[in-house]
Amino acid sequence: MADFPGMRTVRIQDRPAQVYRGDLCVVGSGAGGLSAALEAVRLGQKVVIVDAAPHIGGQAVGAALGTICGLFRNGPAPRRLTHGVMDGLFDALFAQGDANLRRVRGTFILDYVPNAWMRWAERQIAETGIVPLPGAIVRQVEHRDGIVEALALSTRFGDARVEANRFIDASGDAVLPWLAGQELRESEKPVFGTVMAILEDVDTDLCSGYPRSLYHGLIREHGKEFGLVRAEGPVFVIPGTRKLLLNLTHVETPMETAGLALAGIEGRRQVDALLSLFQRELPDAFGEARVAVYGNAGLRQTRTIVGRSHVTVEDVATGARPPDAIARTTWPIEMHGDMAGADWTVFDEDHIHYIPFGAMVPEGLHNVVVAGRCIDAEPAALASLRVMGPCFAMGRAAATAAHLNASGSLHQIDIAALQDAVSDNLTRETTDSWAGDIVRETGPEAEGKGA
């Protein structure tokens, strides 16, 4: 076939798979994956980061979460328990006016602007030399004798391949052990996801005075008329703006593509219905409001690994410290197993519970460690451990373990050396300069209900 001027003919056979090589490959660029990748670069590793989404940031960006939970100890003062490379994110968000601290349920939540998170993450990746592969689907895990050697990816530009010595699975779905044929765990009972939304052109001065029970009461009274399913959840103002973050939807979490797409569509329908309800019943505050951002369907739990240790609800409730602890949190058990709401188990001021390294190492694979919501834990225990604070800490521990044990099985890591390297995430409590101005919840839900 003749070429036209300025053009050439090509075939897929002419384009071999692009090969990327690194010391470490991280799958997933959310809280755990980003923390792991940046920590590994700090330790001198060459890193490739893979994400199925077309952007960096995982659910923290794509699901428009807008909240970082599990960073702080319970009590009247914001004492931060998790430290590491992500400290730079917190500093940047507050310096730019893109975050604030909110007190709820006896602890603290850090609210943030999702776009600001994404831009910070992108700058860090570009400046540190991490190789980013967004929009890349892992379709095959090449492994031999329990050693993962490479990942085969599908991208819009054709096939790609990543070769590395160590792999961190921060996908949220344990995709590497899954495709390597390992046994995984799934909850027998449903765990519902959420579609978040940011509303704009809201009279936030009025909304700041509304107790959360006002929204919940309207949903209980009129929800059937509007096709709403969730009666309780957070609604909070983004300070300094005319925007409000809405977290009042529930959707199923099907483990297949069409079902997940339909769940997202249903969640956005619920967002539209909520806005219509509030516009009708609270016209002074919501009369001019509209949806600025629809998040993707946010998934709380899907698949988890079978690890060397299994975290139980009793482990979380008693706060027993395992000998291989690498992270801690005080976040409540936040179980979304009911379409109408969530069950909460809130802990007292003295409580802390821990994450063992053994729950991060999948059986059958020697050079893979997981971070985030796919660690080995029973569903209700994971409901406390899957939030961003402990995910940051798990990402740091995963990268550190891969660095400390550059060859050999990660099942045989020197736990004392690992704990020493991440010791501030086990012992240190920080009161940050940016934690001075705290937004307190209004109404009777302030310390007890509705987060």
Dihedral angle over CA of 315, 70, 270, 286, nearest 10: 150
Q: Which of 384, 187, 394 is nearest to 301 (CA)?
A: 187
What integer is the mean pLDDT of 359-368? 98
Residue 10: pLDDT band by 50, 70, 90 thresholds?
A: confident
Residue 353 and residue 350: Cα distance in Å, rounded?
10
Residue pair 369/168 in contact by the 8 Å Cβ criterion: yes
Buried b / exposed e over 305-324, threshold 16 CB at 10 Å, is bbbbbbbebebbbeeeebeb
Q: In this predicted structure, what is the pLDDT of residue 444?
A: 36
Query: CA-CA distance, 85 to 400, in Å (whole number)?
Result: 12
Indicate whether 3 pLDDT > 70.
no
pLDDT at 440: 56
- Could you give the CA distance from residue 199 to residue 219 in angstroms, rounded to a whole number? 17
Backbone angles phi, psi at 93, to 5 degrees: -60, -45
Q: How far apart are the first and last CA of the chain?
A: 64
Strand 47-51 and strand 131-134: the pairing is: parallel
Residue 268 has pLDDT above 50, yes or no: yes
Give 168's strand partners: 26, 369
Select the more confidently predicted residue: 444 or 14.
14
Per-residue pLDDT for 352 more than 80? yes
Report which residue type is found at 25: C
> C-alpha angle 64/151/127, rounded to 5°?
55
Residues 273-304: tens digit of each pLDDT: 999 999 999 999 999 999 999 999 999 999 99
Q: Return the pLDDT at 450.
A: 37
The span from the CA of 226 to the CA of 224, in Å, is 5
> In sequence order, what are the residues at sequence separation of 6 or more whose Cβ sits closer than 8 angstroms to the Cβ of residue 170?
26, 27, 28, 29, 30, 32, 33, 36, 58, 370, 371, 372, 391, 395, 398
Helix pair angle (212-226, 257-281), 10° resolution? 110
**To the nearest 5 percent, what fractions of the chain are helix, strand and coil?**
35, 25, 40
Continuous segment of H or E residues that includes residue 84: none
Residue 227, both tokens: 């096709």
The secondary element (H helix, E strand) that includes residue 273 is: helix 257-281
pTM: 0.95
Interatomic CA distance for residues 317 and 40, integer angstroms: 32
CA distance 279 to 276: 5
Nearest to 242 by CA among 178, 307, 292, 316: 292
Residue 367: DSSP 8-state = S
DSSP of 179-237:
HTT--EEE-SS---BB--EEEES--HHHHTT--HHHHHHHHHHHHHHHT-------EEE
Instruction: Quote the pLDDT of residue 12.
Output: 83
Mean pLDDT of the chain: 94
pLDDT at 439: 62
Assess whether pLDDT exceeds 90 at residue 270: yes
DSSP 437: S
